[in-house]
Structure 1
């Protein structure tokens, strides 16, 4: 049975798009580009299937849709560059079945110029069709925020940049079925650069507040109170909060385009954020030492090992590096996370605490890495021998804050 939409890539970008589409009444099929994991619960997936979502295994089905959105992941490779391998695979599979008048949209995070310089030639050579004449081609930066209950797809504006004005309008007509507001960029390069700016904005501002956390600790200043006061300013300030590191799928990009010109502030931000797990270890070791204990053979409980609160996704979560460094110091590490039933580090399973309060009471040090809503932080602060709060989520004075 033909579908209106094909979502190619069913990971952290594609699944939420497919979920929003079927909720809007759009018949949708999904096609995997590789081993992908999303953040939707089994109940949400069952709901999608009941509303008409169809996983596709036969690529021929991609040739019977009006709109195809490529959401393939683009992880950073060993050389630091974005790996476009799954985008290329998706493009080749789609191109072989592409029909005239289809609208093709790329949502994967990419460098500016990728839609025109990389995706377009693949689609044209594989289909014999010409973008902008025989089919529509556009880019739209994904704006997925897993676990955020305040902003739905309908309430989140979508930016669109088409190869031609007609391409933009065709993509706008599609996204207009999902969101209350569509924002038209001048072209694909501008839309791609929106994604770069939005991602780098997050990383740079987190790096600033992470540096402030180190400085304020050295000065004996309560950074959390500083942020509380600063965010009352109604203009020129947006509050960011420090943490044990930056996880997630949005990778900071330090290349401004094909020229390869580095964005120096972004590179520095990455260095600052990458240092935070080591800083957490320094603070943990110092706390243990202040209480007459050594990190060697210390029992350390890690709370929340996902990259974001209230989801199961562990992509880039700093918990992994923190656990590795604790183990290297000789500590005995355990964890608790309501969303992660099993966790392995360095190829070895990490013991999972069944009784949270008992585990916190027995541990020499408990480190809060992620503030899941299910955690009773007041209760934990009472039970724990030592509690290091890397998120500033505990009541004032209840724990040692980052």
Structure 2
């Protein structure tokens, strides 16, 4: 049974705190939620259509309910509404239906296909008439989990709208959360959306967007850490494009060529991740400045490691030099070779220092956000709990 009111949902992006590249070789990585979020508004409409509006990528599409229902026989829908993986055949049908060429990998086509797949599989024959708008604070293609935040928002809203999970019914000024079993279902469906977009994702990004906080990932096992502190950071996008595939292959080549050199470096990255986990867990009961100093040292050590394995870049070197000149500590996050970096802000750092560092980074042509890591995962909101700018973006046509 579908609900008859508009709902607002958000999910966070993610950064890798430690463990980039080493995680590919069985080491520990720590992924953490980033309080730059994707927001979704879904409401019923009355003209037998499904409409999606994605203003970040200038995309607006609509389809008739009867046309969507005609696709259902081609999908192997689970009678218990359990998540099912997209098959090449189902994706081919959706691409043809949406008018996308085979092999299309642009942001618009992937976002639309993920929505259509989740809509058809989650809603099935119920096929509600809905209007959905998604707006994000996250840049796409920056390694910050934008597609996962999108998939989690879509899955959570459709599951709620179709009555598969409870409607949080948020009338307060605070964010509402679903139960753990409901969050698990959201996560598993969002993983299917990520498969549409990425083919063979690790599941880390959608897990972070669902659960929030810090997750430990090793050899396919994802473990949320209990009660971790929120940390203030500056996130910087160098705007230097990079290929994760090429960077991962480069690390593998070095490992094959110099195993006695590279394996100890990967072991050391693993030790950094585990030491960071220990410190974060200690900070739950003791937020002493000593712990922040250790986190800063770990950031510096790991940044050097990442340069050694070949995933640094002159833009990242410049970023680290700028922040170091202001007494701050930075490291790349994600695949490297450009992309993004995080800078830890201790509680005792003077705001004027942060402002000066951000200005100098901006003068280098970089983009900066002062934000938080370790916050809430997917949440439902009342309109009154959202900022005017978010509401305006979600209600614009």
* TM-score of the two chains, using structure 1 as the length reference: 0.24
Q: Higher strand share goes to which structure?
A: 2
Considering only CA atoms, is the larger Rg found in Structure 1 or Structure 2? 1
Q: Higher helix share goes to which structure?
A: 2
